Structure 1
Amino acid sequence: MVVIHFLENKSIVLSQLRSTIPSVDEPIKIKGKKGKVVDIKKIDERVIHVYVEFEKVVVKNQPAAKEVKNKKR
């Protein structure tokens, strides 16, 4: 069992105690975000840093408030 720290841009996203280590370019899903393992660094016998790159989320445009409301007569 090893402690795995998942990092994105030098900030820890998730820490887990796991028996298996993810491999480079493996697809991964953390907290509902899809991503890909970029790099793996072994810090200690039991501590491993896994660098992850998440996909960018595209936000759809909301309709304008003026168009939604009905005009009073």
Structure 2
Amino acid sequence: MFAVHFIENNNVLLTQLLNRVPTEGEELRIKGRKAKVASVKNIDDLNIHVQVTVEVVNKASKFVVDQSKKKKR
């Protein structure tokens, strides 16, 4: 088993004990977000750093309520 550290921009997103090490270009889901493996770096026999790029999610803007139709008091 390997201690795999998933890192994005020098921030550790997740650390897991895994039997299989992810390969470069592999699609992953980390904390519910899509990520792609950029590089894999072996630190020692058990520790592995995996650089990932997380897909940016564009949040839909909230719809604007038409104020002219509201009743004025």
Q: TM-score, normalised by structure 2?
A: 0.89
Q: Deviations over 1:9-65 (max 9, x none)?
A: 001000000110000000000000001000000001100000000111111111224
CA RMSD of aligned residues (A): 1.7
Counterpart of 1:4?
Answer: 4
The answer on 1:43 being equivalent to 2:43 is yes
Matched length: 72
CA distance in 2, matches of 1:23, 1:17: 16
For structure 1, the residue ranges without an aligned partner over 5 or more in a row are none
| DSSP 3-state at the match of 1:38 | strand
Deviation beyond 4 Å, 4+ runs, structure 1: none
| Runs of at least 5 residues in structure 2 that lack an aligned partner in the other structure | none
